[in-house]
Amino acid sequence: MKGSTLLVEDDAALRRSLEVGLRDLDFDVHACASGAEGLTRLTESDFDVVLTDLRMPGMSGLELCKRSVEARPDIPVVVITAFGNLDTAVEAIRAGAYDFITKPVEVEALALVLARAVQHRRLREEVKRLRSEKRSGSPEELVGDSAAIQAVQELIGRIADSDSTILVTGESGTGKEVTARAIHRLSRRAAGPFVAVNCAAIPEALIESELFGHARGAFTDARTARTGLLAQAEGGTLFLDEIGELPLSAQAKLLRVLQERVLRPVGSDREVGFDARVIAATNRDLERAIEEGRFREDLYFRIHVLPVELPPLRARGSDVLVLAHHFLRRFTERSGKALTGIGPAAAEVLLNYQWPGNVRELMNAVEHAVALARFEQIAPEDLPQRIRSYRRSHIIVAGENPSELVPLEEVERRYILRVLETVGGNKRLAARVLGLDRKTLYRKLERYGVS
């Protein structure tokens, strides 16, 4: 069912027509004939949305709207008004109504308004749940309830105590270092150091010295011996971020260290034992890099013992809100602002965005919003412009590859099917949206093989 709807309408014919029409569109409708009866039903049962006429004898729809908002502010109210009575509708909106629709009422259009209201209510409930939910652990913990991230959580719990090398892959910003730190904290080496190395940030001339250390006098300015980062991770975890950026010469030496568990500082004739858990990470396709001669195949198999693939944020559903509240608490504490949460409208904006920068982009967006927030909840206008102005498109015409170009008829087919999906399969409403008569739409769907 699309939502439990309390319908309040004194006109028996209209009430019956709306009741039947909405039930045909999978709404659970509970109808009553007066505002007083509607208010009683509202206090006795739970509904997703209230739909009420404004002009009714006794308690008017405006009064019902005001009292409904006072008693159950979590339930959105949609009001029905005559076209010439828009001032009253505006007054209802000011009293807290979610939306209004004018007579004569078209059931399909009304269904879309009610569906949005139901979604609005469920978003508010989700925001409320997340705000009240107590989460323990440090800010680095993997946060989320989606099946995708729970699979990762379960996997790292199983492999944390192994000393085998782990390769963490995923798009930029998905939390590869967060994952590595979580594995370290869960492992038997948690009391040891966690040493993070950004392989892309070290100049090529210094990579060997940084990783393996050097002896005194090994080169100009080497006035004292230096312990390399690998040795500094002794007894703990060495995290090699962006390992795909290592030059081939350093890859060969790293391979020997991982195989033999010994290292030789630059300029030294003495080998030193190496005992640290190695976790590597990359956002590159290493198998393709091997084909292009930019990464050693033997090193790939050495680090690819236990692979962990992180899902992009766009594949994690409502984890966007879970993470947003997680970051909100962090930045609120830092800023000292008295923010209580994220408003439903802002939450909807966050859910609609695709997050090409993944969790890192979300964290930056929440920090931006906290800095700009003027009220107790984050509002859409507090979010970065690129996020609040984003409009999702599900119609893929073609990619950058010329071979993906499709005929105009295929573009039409994809768009028609997308519209049909959006309106829940209602062909009459889809035809109206598309500007087609129903017979034309039926012929096209038959040609596409859609029943």
Domain spans of the chain, in order of start:
3-132, 147-309, 314-388, 402-448
Determine the pLDDT at residue 268: 73
- pLDDT, tens only, 157-181: 889 988 899 999 998 999 999 999 9
pLDDT band at 127 (very low <50, low <70, confident <90, very high): low
Share of the chain above pLDDT 90, in %: 34
pLDDT at 91 over 70: yes
pLDDT at 7 over 90: yes
In which element (H, E) is residue 79 found?
strand 77-81
| Cβ atoms < 10 Å from Cβ of 284 | 14
Share of the chain above pLDDT 70, in %: 88
78 within 8 A of 34, measured Cβ to Cβ: no
Determine the pLDDT at residue 143: 83
**Considering just the CA atoms, what is the radius of gyration of the chain in Å?**
30
What is the largest distance, in Å, between two alpha-carbon atoms of the chain? 99
CATH of region 3-132: 3.40.50.2300
Lowest-pLDDT range, 22-31, 249-258, 298-307, 408-417?
408-417
CA gap 82, 105 in Å, rounded: 9
Overall fold of domain 147-309: Rossmann fold (3.40.50)
CATH of region 402-448: 1.10.10.60
Determine the pLDDT at residue 135: 40
- Name residues whose C-beta falls within 8 Å of residue 60's C-beta, 6 or more positions apart in sequence: 35, 54
Determine the pLDDT at residue 141: 57
- pLDDT, tens only, 365-414: 999 999 999 988 899 999 999 998 887 655 555 555 555 566 777 778 87
Q: Note if the bond before 356 is cis, omega within 30 degrees.
A: no
Question: Which residues are 281's β-sheet partners?
Answer: 168
Give the chain's mean pLDDT. 84
Indicate if 147-309 has the same CATH topology as 3-132: yes
Determine the pLDDT at residue 134: 40
Whether the model pTM is above 0.85: no
Write the single-letter amino acid at 242. Answer: E
Determine the pLDDT at residue 137: 36
Mean pLDDT of 189-217: 84
Position with higher pLDDT, 141 vs 123? 123
pLDDT at 211 over 50: yes
Overall fold of domain 314-388: Helicase, Ruva Protein; domain 3 (1.10.8)
